[in-house]
Amino acid sequence: MNLDALYSELTLKIPQGGTKLALVVLDGLGDIATKEQNYLTPLEAATTPNLDKIARDSAQGRMIAAAPGITPGSGPGHLGLFGYDPLEFQVGRGVIEALGLGMELKHGDVCARANFATLDAKGIITDRRAGRIPTETCEKLCAMLAAKIKKIGDTEIIIKAGKEHRFVVVFRGKGLEGPLTDADPNREGFAIPTVKPRDENNAGQKKLAGVIADFYKAALPIVAKEKPANGFLMRGIAHKPHIPLFEDRYKLKPACLAVYPMYKGLAQLVGMKKIEGPATITEQFERYLKEYDNFDFFFIHYKYTDKYGEDGNFTAKTKAIEDFDAALPILLRKKPDVLAITGDHSTPCAMKGHSWHPQPVLLTSAVSGSDKLERFTETGANTGSLGVFKAKYLIRLMQANARMFDKFGA
């Protein structure tokens, strides 16, 4: 029997009066202990009295985002958390970002997630994020590109700025197909790669690869004299796939409280209601209190643990965890019946990027049981009763803790 079909068959109606579930994601939370960090991770080094209180009444474990040894992007990492196998449901990052920015995508549109970057005189990438330019600078540069490049051949070009160095390019025209390889080496010290079809026999992918090559020829000279953003990278070049809706799949009415467009886009992709407005974790938790009666499931996203992990800034990542912990009592004023706190992947400071290391997870409910751990850390999670499991099962464990499943078999 198909496992998802079995879960659906066993799913019970939410008890009268409502059951509240909350998935709180500290992006890139997981880390590794090294000699240089005194054999501590940021989560272990942080002072977290509020997480500590929850930990005593929780089950803990570690999660693998996709498969052992595979380093996930944010898209696969979050789809796994939402219960969709990221190896089965593959979504281009451009689509996610475009939806998060509120763009209305038409059938056949192909989207690319883009970063402004810094290139040296030889065209070698020296900073993939152009020093994290301010959003206002990104908006100015996108306006320049959009004003001068409206079409490539018969393909319409739509450009929209995101936060800091990020923006989206949508290619709209007949006969275009994704996915393509990335125009991003994902590391400094290399030139911008030429995009190529994933399927050499696909005419739509070949056409799109030619359009993007011509787009680069037109766009790079426009920003060539800008500092530090004199180039750009593109990845996640694909069209919007069909994905079953979260509410149909889990019988839960879901809401998203996220700040960055990409995570709003991921939530929208599976049918979550985007709640706009909150800009800080404090504001997100306060809005959760206001929306408590309107939804069954809340996805709350916190970005800064990942941001500082990618910067290799151990002190700042530790502080970001402490800032999150300081705001946590707001959420606990209306503690959900089931609360999971975790990351979408690990972003070790020592690696300055995503990694394959399992992320720690804490799960608490009236029936979760206690692992008798005094803190929520990677080391403690290694000994927890949840063990090591694939992230796609977290939502099912949350449903089980909400008593949403009937007994299987006699």
288, 13 contact by CB (below 8 A): no
Cβ within 8 Å of residue 53, ≥6 positions away: none
Identify the DSSP state of 14: P
What is the C-alpha separation between 95 and 72, in angstroms, rounded?
Answer: 17
According to DSSP H, which parts of 224-280 are helical?
246-250, 261-269
- Extended beta strands in 275-377, E state: 297-302, 338-342, 359-365
What is the C-alpha separation between 315 and 313, in angstroms, rounded?
Answer: 6
What is the C-alpha separation between 97 and 240, in angstroms, rounded?
Answer: 11
Q: Which DSSP string corresponds to 199-263?
A: STT-HHHHHHHHHHHHHHHHHHHHHTT-SS--EEEEEEEEEPPP---HHHHHS--EEEE-SSHHH
Residue from 217, 231, 211, 218 nearest 141 by CA: 231
**pLDDT tens track, the chain, 410 positions:** 689 899 999 998 776 557 999 999 999 999 999 999 999 999 999 999 999 999 999 999 999 999 999 999 888 999 999 999 999 887 888 888 888 788 888 888 999 999 999 999 999 999 999 999 999 999 999 999 999 999 999 999 999 999 899 999 999 999 998 899 999 998 999 999 999 999 999 999 999 999 999 999 999 999 999 999 999 999 999 987 788 999 999 999 999 999 988 899 889 889 999 999 999 999 999 999 999 999 999 999 999 999 999 999 999 999 999 999 999 999 999 999 999 999 999 999 999 999 999 999 999 999 999 999 999 999 999 999 999 999 999 999 999 999 999 999 87
Name all domains of the chain by residue range, CATH numbers in brackets. 18-88+243-401 (3.40.720.10), 96-239 (no CATH)
What is the C-alpha separation between 99 and 263, in angstroms, rounded?
Answer: 9
What is the C-alpha separation between 228 and 250, in angstroms, rounded?
Answer: 46
Q: Give this prediction's pTM.
A: 0.79
What is the C-alpha separation between 260 and 241, in angstroms, rounded?
Answer: 21
According to DSSP H, which parts of 11-105 are helical?
42-45, 49-55, 74-81, 93-100
Tokens of 328: 């946590």
What is the maximum span of the chain, computed from C-alpha positions, in angstroms? 72
Answer left, alpha or beta for residue 201, where phi above 0 means left and psi between -120 and 50 means alpha: alpha
